[in-house]
Structure 1
Amino acid sequence: MTGTVASIWRHPIKSHGREELLRVQVAAGQCLPFDRKWAVAHDAAKLGDGAQWVPCTNFSRGAKAPKLMAISAAMDEGSNTVTLTHPAQPGLTINPDRADDHERFLNWVTALSPENRAQPARLVTVGRGMTDTDFESVSFINMASHRAVEKAMDRELDPTRWRGNFLIEGFAPWEERNWIGKRLRIGEAEFEVREHITRCLATTANPATGERDADTLGALKSNWGHQDCGVYAVVTKPGVVVRDEPVEVIT
């Protein structure tokens, strides 16, 4: 079974913007470089000692603040800066590791946060990707499954709603649901598929507008009896992944 990499995405600040890559170097046991390196803890967060991974409920995210879904990001690795843009906001460039940039960022993002929800309080990092999984994961979205959801809803959907790292073509709809425990090979890199991705309300918001406009969860549940789209995997062998490169499913 062979497909291709349709696109590659990373999200430097968890739930606060996405950027497309043409190629990426992956390392064993790690997220994509700078993917979800930072997250925005809200004012009701319980972070413990602040040095360990904690669940996504401690962070501002699109499930609770849909306008966040319309943020785009551009990471400059050399200067360690992230430029954020949004259709309702002026652009903003910050260094997430600089304390004097945090207030500017919080002022910017608070305008996109519902007043009746926990408010963004601080930028945090723990030295690993702040994924929804307690292990450092990368995610794969089968574009055929995405199109099956579009067909069921009788409308086009931007696939970045799913916030995946690798969007892949050439497989049958929902074929990825049989990949748990299998490996994927892209060039020299290899990945072990670990879990299905159960979806939340973030996917109901349009990435172009930040407005909820599609009952993706209802469509998944009523048509297929689950709320999953995509799979989580771990990098087991390092390598460079390039857009349009073949994806091979191996046992």
Structure 2
Amino acid sequence: MIRLAHIVRHPIKSVGFEELAGASLTKGRALPFDREWAVTHEAAKFDRLTEWHPKMNFLRGVAGPELMAISAQLDSATRRVTLRHPFAGALTVAPDEEGPALVDWLRPLWPAERPAPARVDHLPGQAMTDWPDPFVSVLGLASNRALGQVMGQDLSIHRWRGNLWLDGLAAWAEFDLIGRHLQIGDAVLEVRQRITRCKATTVNPETGRSDADTLAALQQHFGHEDFGTYAVVVQSGAVALGDEVTVI
């Protein structure tokens, strides 16, 4: 039996992960409040966010590994986010209204040689994910265990910045789901494509330090650098931890 084991969102792109007990998925939309905000840097190719833009315009874990160690807790009613980092401490901020405070908190965590954090951006109705499509990522716990086994170390699921983690699939079986539909709770998702990974996944989300060459291990042992899949919600509905997952 396949079950939903983790639900994870990232309220601010590359700045904090948060585990949830449940979520309400909407047809044609990303996971609620996932990548709702993004921090734009000084070398961004736009002056005002009016449409989706590629990830190189924003702060990212691949360029600033310290960001990977930030955890988040969002109060969706007040739109205030509490961020915690093992060295920088904690900050509670409303990104819509207190962007400069967030930028100031992030600045010491961002490499000095990179274009500096400039402002917090938000585009209503558009998650600032790596693709403009309203993807929800679906990943398998068995694949994470299989990769960890060949590397000889435990790998946190938060290296992968995924949304929905499934338990009960065989390792890498999520790739076989492309083109299929998944019934999870009351929602239905269509699995669309594999996710090719970057060096941000080499970073330990507890320390913000690169300590596992995930890309080399994927290539050496499995012949690719892919982990997880992208899906789209085709039927709205609530999902919760422990929900049975049915392949349609």
Assess same fold via TM > 0.5.
yes
Residue 104 of structure 2 corresponds to residue 96 of structure 1: no
**Deviation digits for residues 178-237 of structure 1, max 9, x if unmatched?**
121111111220001111111111101000000011000100111111111000001000
Matched with 1:121 is 118
SS of 1:73's partner is strand
Matched with 2:204 is 206
**Deviation digits for residues 91-136 of structure 1, max 9, x if unmatched?**
11111111xx122111100110011112211111112111111201
Distance 2:213 2:238 in 1: 36
Matched with 1:32 is 31
Residue 7 of structure 2 corresponds to residue 8 of structure 1: yes
Aligned residues: 247
Question: Structure 2 residue aligned with 1:223, among 218, 221, 229?
Answer: 221
Q: CA deviation at 1:159?
A: 1.1
TM-score by length of 1: 0.96
Matched with 1:105 is 102
Residue 80 of structure 2 corresponds to residue 81 of structure 1: yes
Q: CA deviation at 1:90?
A: 2.2
Distance 2:225 2:115 in 1: 25
Identity %: 47
Q: CA deviation at 1:48?
A: 6.5
Residue 40 of structure 2 corresponds to residue 41 of structure 1: yes
SS of 1:111's partner is helix
SS of 1:157's partner is coil
Distance 1:62 1:124 in 2: 17
Question: Structure 1 residue aligned with 2:131, among 110, 130, 133?
Answer: 133
Distance 1:195 1:110 in 2: 35
SS of 1:220's partner is helix
Residue 186 of structure 2 corresponds to residue 188 of structure 1: yes
Distance 2:13 2:245 in 1: 26
Q: Which runs of 5+ in 1 are unaligned?
A: none
Distance 1:249 1:42 in 2: 41
TM-score by length of 2: 0.97
Q: In structure 2, give the amino acid aligned to 1:17.
A: G
Distance 2:186 2:144 in 1: 27
Distance 1:187 1:109 in 2: 37
Matched with 1:61 is 60
Question: Structure 1 residue aligned with 2:148, among 150, 154, 160?
Answer: 150
RMSD (CA atoms): 1.0
Q: In structure 1, give the amino acid aligned to 2:140.
A: N
Q: Which runs of 5+ in 2 are unaligned?
A: none
Poorly superposed stretches of 4+, deviation over 2 Å: none
